[in-house]
Each structure stands twice: as C-alpha cells, then as structure tokens.
Amino acid sequence: MTHPAPVPPFQIRALNADPDTLNQLCTLIIQTVANGESVSFMHPLAPADAEAFWAGSLAAAHRGERVVLGAWQAEQLIGTVTLLLDFPPNQPHRAEIAKMMTRLGHRGKGIATALLREAEGLAGQRGRTLLVLDTATDGGAAGLYEKLGYTLAGEIPDFALKPHGGLTGTLLYWKRLEQV
C-alpha cells in the first residue's frame, strides 16, 4: 500500500510590506493569473500592476482594515489569503475572505485549508460572526469552501472575465462563526 508523502512543515503569519514579501506575493499572483485562475486580474498581469495591488493591500493591512496571511516553507511564500475587515457601520459582525492562492507545486497539501482556518480564527477573535466570499463558477474553488462548511447562497452568471478571456459566473458563499 502506498502512503501520501509527508507534507513539509509550513508556518502561517500576517504579512508586512517588506521588499521580499512584496516580491513573492507578486510572483504568486502573476503565476496564478497566468494559470488562468480568477483572482481579479487579466493575463498577462504586469509586475508593476501586481506590485501596486499588493502594496495597496498591505498598506490597508497596516491600517487594520484587513489581514494578509502568508504560508511559508523556509523562506518561500507558498500561499496567501486575505481577511477583509473594513465594512460599513451596520456590518460590524462581518468579514470577507479574498485572494486565496496556493503556489503551483504546493497544492493539494492542505495549505489553503490551514490559511482559511487561521483567517477564520482571526475573524472570530475580532468578534466577526459572519464570513462571506465569492469564487468563480468556472475553475474556482467551490469544493474547498464547501468542504470547510461554507453555504452556497447562489450564483451570478457572467460575472467576470477569466484571465485568458471568456466570461464566468461567480458563486457566493457564507459561513457563520461560533462566537469566541
């Protein structure tokens, strides 16, 4: 009987805007987009546009409006997810999951699951009790979210362009968190 190869250890931590982290985040999102996966951008994603996006995101994290988490294996960033916290005054209990990506070659090893669980824990610590997210109908990660207990609210057809062109719908998911 064959056993799955053991997963080398990885650490998850909140990311800051240091040059190496920024550079690795840019590589990750450029590769993800080139692979045809929907994370808001079209292929080819110019390095300057990737950098502008992540610099803005990490600046928002510095202001406490979001948390950008990274999974590290030694010095390599192998995955990321963002927890959005900046919502209107009538939604203080809500947070959103965004920009979930695992580096190609490191997929299927529980990296995204660990990142998502960490993000859920942080959301709970901040008193957030309702999480929402969306994922592309075509090539998105619905299976991952359903495995982790997210409920499908519905689908919006023809919501966005895929990185290499052609429209895809989006699937909207939600999950209630236990109050901590």
Ligand X SMILES: CC(C)(COP(=O)(O)OP(=O)(O)OC[C@H]1O[C@@H](n2cnc3c(N)ncnc32)[C@H](O)[C@@H]1OP(=O)(O)O)[C@@H](O)C(=O)NCCC(=O)NCCS
Sheet (strand 76-84) strand order: 11-14, 66-73, 76-84, 94-102, 130-136, 167-176, 151-161
- Rule CB under 6 A: choose which of 26, 50, 111, 131 binds ligand X: 111
CB 176 within 8 A of CB 129: yes
CB 161 within 8 A of CB 167: yes
Q: Does the protein bind ligand X through residue 37 (CB under 6 A)? A: yes
DSSP H or E stretch at residue 154: strand 151-161
Q: Does the protein bind ligand X through residue 108 (CB under 6 A)? A: yes
Query: Least separation, in Å, of the C-beta of 140 and ligand X?
Result: 5
Q: Does the protein bind ligand X through residue 69 (CB under 6 A)? A: no
CB 69 within 8 A of CB 14: yes
Q: Does the protein bind ligand X through residue 110 (CB under 6 A)? A: yes
Nearer to ligand X, 64 or 121 (CB): 121
Q: Does the protein bind ligand X through residue 95 (CB under 6 A)? A: no
Q: Does the protein bind ligand X through residue 172 (CB under 6 A)? A: no
**From CA 119, how far away is CA 132, in angstroms rounded?**
12
Among the listed ranges 5-13, 33-41, 48-56, 152-160, the one in contact with ligand X (CB under 6 A) is 33-41
Q: Does the protein bind ligand X through residue 6 (CB under 6 A)? A: no
Handedness of CA 41, 45, 48, 50 (dihedral sign): positive
- Rule CB under 6 A: choose which of 89, 143, 157, 165 binds ligand X: 143
Q: Tell me the CB-side half-sphere exposure of residue 118, using CA atoms within 13 A.
A: 21
Q: Does the protein bind ligand X through residue 135 (CB under 6 A)? A: yes
Q: Which residues bind ligand X (CB under 6 A)?
A: 32, 37-39, 79, 100-102, 107-113, 135, 140-144, 147
